[in-house]
Structure 1
Amino acid sequence: MRRLLFALALVPMLIASLAFAGDAEVKAAQTVIDSQLKAFIADDGAAAYSFAAPNVKQIFPTVDTFMNMVTNGYAPVRKPRSYSFGKVEQTGPGSIIQQVLIVGPDGKDYEAVYTLQQQADGSFKITGCSLRASASVST
């Protein structure tokens, strides 16, 4: 009976620790996105590239090819006027989807959806980003 009560007493602590671990992963992923966006704004291609996951680096093997892709296809991400984090979803252990609401250089609203994966060293890297114009209007 004592073992059962002890086990039941541990359940809330276990749930709380899992939630904390999830919050820590989300915060780490958001820090990676924020750092990459700040690197883009500062025109620091090498720093921005450092947050890309191996799958992205395989497709864009140099900083220059990566930055050309971002500049030509992701102008709102490359030079946002402002941005904020939206919805987030953990799709599995070490796997996060993060919405970022962006006001682009043209003053229009965009939604960027980032996918991130935790690497073997524990860091998060960006595995992809999809961008679309948003229906909302900035003020």
Structure 2
Amino acid sequence: MRRITPALCLVTALLSAQLSAPPLAAQTADPGISATINGQIEALRKDDFDRAFDFASPTIRQLFGTAPNFGTMVRQGYPMVHRPGAVRLLELRDVAGRLWQRVMITDTEGRTHLLDYEMQQGPGGWQINGVQILPDPGPMI
């Protein structure tokens, strides 16, 4: 039997609270945030991983090191972002001082995915500091 560490419990609790928290000051997408997300997705559609990597925050750039490494991660972990059918930006939320842009992506097979993009302001504008694939809520009745 695996032992769950207190740190893992804390991370799980924080992530669950963040994903279930109601939006604070929900609003429509900021034009700069929209341009950043859409710019990265367009670069990914063209397999221009150098350009897509330019939209990442310094933390993400340091984590992956190179644009090819970043491209491999996107292709393997986020295929719906690499080859989206349709992209729609939903609400922008402030959760505990961090901005999260909800994005709905319909993949090329017609499946819908909800993602949260953590956005941060950098010296040159908005940057993507991480993307979370949200759990499928199942059919809405």
**8 Å contact 1:109–1:136 — kept in the other structure?**
no
What is the root-mean-square deviation in Å for CA atoms of aligned residues? Answer: 2.1
Distance 2:101 2:129 in 1: 12
- Select the residue among 106, 113, 122 that pairs with 1:110: 113
Which of the pair is proportionally richer in helix?
1
User: Which residues of structure 1 form unaligned runs of 5+?
Assistant: 1-22
- Select the residue among 77, 81, 86 that pairs with 1:77: 81
Change (3 A) 1:133 1:107: farther
Alignment TM-score, normalising by the size of structure 2 = 0.71
Runs of 4+ residues over 4 Å off in structure 1:
none
Greater relative CO (CA pairs within 8 A, separation 6+) = 2
Per-residue displacement from partner, 1:28-78 (whole Å, max 9, x unpaired)?
111100100111112111110100000001110001100000000000011
* Match in the other structure for 2:99: 96
Distance 2:109 2:63 in 1: 28
**8 Å contact 1:88–1:98 — kept in the other structure?**
yes
**8 Å contact 1:115–1:126 — kept in the other structure?**
yes
> Which structure has the greater CA radius of gyration?
1
The share of aligned pairs that are identical, in percent, is 26
Per-residue displacement from partner, 1:71-119 (whole Å, max 9, x unpaired)?
00000011100010111113477x5210000001332100010001001
Per-residue displacement from partner, 1:2-29 (whole Å, max 9, x unpaired)?
xxxxxxxxxxxxxxxxxxxxx8x82211
